[in-house]
Structure 1
């Protein structure tokens, strides 16, 4: 949902408008821009996802900060996760200073204040939510901030947030928003605890978030034909038996979950004009289906039609239909 695009505003109003939106939506107390008023550009979108808010900010160079004085003056006790996408800049918190570039992640705890900036054209994705949602001691959260860039969970979280952004318009008002928010919070908890907290806390959170991390890993590697339960178990330092029990306790079959997500991806590609030049077999293979007959059978079971007919209907612009109820199980 678009909140602000300064290119739509008169030149003299652009900086002030961005300062007002940044203060209201993100708790920022100061904004400095790199470009003169005539060439400054900032665009801000946001989507509510249950208890989370997802922001996408892009534009010319800027520095935003939340001063300790501002933090003491208001009662905003929130956490912000920033996934930097474009440009180079930096992040400062107390005596911690970190260079940031594409595909880096940082955490801000609002009661402590921070500075975040980039030079030239840049963009970032940010998640904001109440600190209490993490269910972690404040000391553990703050202790993690300087070392999170070294966490083995960081890349998983980055990929997950990129994925959320890709579907935000479709899920923000849907029934899945709360479930997606819960999964995201579990990943953030695992990220923080992976570098902070005592051993007992780390073990407890690792156990609690294992299914979320398993499914996030599977999403990242969904197109790879060798994505097997054995590989997933090995990547998470657990046994296949434990993995199956974990999934069963979560109410799903891992193999069916993987097949369903691959079918969704293939179905989308088959309907997309940008993939019209590719054969059905090539699309299926790109989503991990090495056996064309197996792909066609599972596609028909899930969507009540063949891949070829689905592609023809999509090209004719005919309305799609919901898959039969049996396709949602597992």
Structure 2
């Protein structure tokens, strides 16, 4: 499946577009089912037998994914079988733009009309039905960003938020505008907006749970997650330093250290622990058996063999060679 994409621009998050417009009629139903599963994760889709029409526009907003869907009627089911395959990390916050919908999850059934918002969890079974042509605008975010435990998540799914409430009205307008404009923001602006979105969604979750928002995780969780992803992608770079990380994320080094202080670690310790874990994993793989221990260490950003050996023993209680030679179950 080849998306129709907008021209790249280093100052914006590039949109992607999946549409049935150029797909031959006999192939449209299959194309559309695959497009939805690729966007939201695997679901069983049922669509009408006649010629189908649908469009999915996806944009990045910081570490969030924003998706607008316009299509004919359909039914989507997320089954335990599909959940067992993985890819269960996202919550979906969905604004019903046009048409009506019915969502079933966690023992509740929500009937949605235009302007209403609902949260559902891709890690648990659910069913959605759209009996008429529809438009939805959704934000996909990692489950951990709202700082909620499993029992709390189960309480807020399939619980509609109406636009005639104070918070619902604010969120309805915000989600609609974010979906329409997400691809136009510079990266720094997108990150700041994503943090604000998560802040408001945290307030919404707290209101639905009947508790105060004070002390709950803020939108800084978005930035923290993005920084950790950046670190994992650049572990092999020996110049991966707090200064380089802060510069890449348009924040001060002081603010970077503040983010990690709340998690009882430092940036440098986190980088070292991720490098050590990558080395330990490589040293136990058969395909790396011909590499020297020094080569493995250098591959993951360690410039000193002596330093690597010392911190590896401190972390795991044995030398790198002892770990490599240890019998595996």
Aligned length: 203
Which runs of 4 or more aligned residues in structure 1 lie more than 4 Å from their structure 2 counterparts after TM superposition? Answer: none
Q: 1:119 aligns with which of 123, 126, 131?
A: 131
CA contact (8 A) 2:83 2:125 kept: yes
Contact 2:96 2:114 in 1 (8 A): yes
2:177 paired with 1:166: no
How far apart, in 2, do the equivalents of 1:77 and 1:165 lie? Answer: 21
In structure 2, the partner of 1:29 is: 43
What TM-score do the two structures reach when normalised by structure 2?
0.57
Q: Distance in 2 between matches of 1:138 and 1:188?
A: 16
The residue number in structure 1 matching 2:197 is 184
Change (3 A) 1:158 1:28: farther
Residue equivalent to 1:194? 207
Offset of 1:205 from its aligned partner?
Answer: 4.0
CA distance in 1, matches of 2:142, 2:153: 13
More helix by share: 1
Task: Give the whole-Å Cα distance in 2 for the aligned partners of 1:146 and 1:170.
Answer: 31
Counterpart mapping for 1:1-330 below 5 A: 1-34=15-48, 36-38=49-51, 40-149=52-161, 152-171=166-185, 173-196=186-209, 199=211, 202-205=213-216
Partners of 2:215 and 2:133 lie apart in 1 by 41
> SS of the counterpart of 2:55?
strand
**Equivalent pair of 1:6/1:43 in contact (CA under 8 Å):** yes
Q: Is the 8 A contact 2:64 2:140 kept in 1?
A: yes
Could you tell me how far apart the structure 1 residues matched to 2:140 and 2:191 are? 14
Deviations 1:199-234 (A, max 9, x none): 4x544349x68xxxxxxxxxxxxxxxxxxxxxxxxx
What's the CA shift for 1:99?
0.9
Relative contact order, CA 8 A, sep 6+: which one is greater?
2
- Mapped to 1, the partners of 2:19 and 2:159 lie a distance apart of 34
Give the whole-Å Cα distance in 2 for the aligned partners of 1:26 and 1:180. 22
The CA distance in 2 between the partners of 1:129 and 1:55, in whole Å, is 11
Which deviations, in whole Å up to 9, do the C-alpha atoms of 1:177-214 show, x marking residues without a partner?
Answer: 111111001111111110116x4x544349x68xxxxx
Unaligned runs of 5+ in 1: 210-330
> Considering only aligned residues, what root-mean-square deviation do their CA atoms show, in Å?
2.1
Instruction: Tell me the TM-score normalised to structure 1 length.
Output: 0.57
Distance 1:111 1:5 in 2: 27
Query: 3-state DSSP class of the match of 1:175?
Result: helix
Aligned counterparts of 1:75 and 1:43: Cα–Cα separation in 2:
23
